[in-house]
Amino acid sequence: MSSRSAGRSERREEPESAVRAMIAAERGELADLLDGLSAEQWNELTLCAGWRVGEVVAHITMAFRYSTLRVVIGMLKARGSFNRMADRAAHRDAEQLSPDELVACLRSNVHHGWKPPGGGYVGALSHDLIHGLDITWDSAWIDSPRQSVSRLCSAPSALDRSPTSTST
């Protein structure tokens, strides 16, 4: 391996580890926020149409709880629509799993390596950030800006995938 390609490999690894650290921080912070919610707060509507906090957390944790086969079967039952399958699963799982179980699932998977198809770790970070903000953006029980906003703002520099030129 040439020194030039070795340098590129090192640069690619650093952003990936930075993104994975952001994912873990986001999941951990969200689990901490959710841990102390009352039943009333758990049932508040979120920015996700038709989803309360419970459905959003069920959706976020679906990647940790569902096998590929279970997703494929759900997609077949939903006539190929991921959105329809995800909506059905979120409603069903929010009814079947307690808030404590969902928060425990999120907390125990802060370092899980799930990546959405075609999205990589950047897609996983986007997924977690967006749904975390879906839950908290309009919530009266959040009295300070979440670190998510800071992670969102710092993400572009950490996520730069363009190859850097090296002078010879």
Q: Does a structural domain hold residue 147?
A: yes
Question: Among candidates 15, 96, 32, which has minimal Cα distance to 62?
Answer: 96
Instruction: Answer yes or no: is 165 within a domain.
Output: no
For residues 19 and 125, the answer to whether their CB atoms sit within 8 Å is yes
Write out the residue range of the structural domain in which residue 45 sits: 41-157
Give the pLDDT confidence score for residue 113 in this predicted structure.
94
State residue 36's pLDDT score. 86
The strand pairing partners of 52, in sequence order, are 45
Inside any domain, residue 19 = no
Write phi, then psi, for 54 (nearest 5 degrees). -60, -40
Q: Which residues contact 145 (CB under 8 A, 6 or more apart)?
A: none
Q: Which residues of the chain have a pLDDT value below 70?
A: 1-14, 140-168
Distance CA 84, CA 78 (A): 6
Task: Determine, yes or no, domain membership for 149.
Answer: yes
Residue 9 lies in a domain: no
Q: Is residue 5 part of a domain?
A: no
Q: Is residue 101 part of a domain?
A: yes
Total-model pTM: 0.79
Q: 62-75 b/e with 16+ CB inside 10 Å = b?
A: bbeebeeeebeebe
Residue 123 tokens, joined: 């897609």
φ, ψ dihedrals at 52, nearest 5°? -85, 180
Residue 17: inside a domain = no
pLDDT score recorded for residue 154: 58
Q: How far apart are CA 144 and CA 93, in angstroms?
A: 30
> How many structural domains does the chain have?
1
Tell me what pLDDT residue 137 has.
81
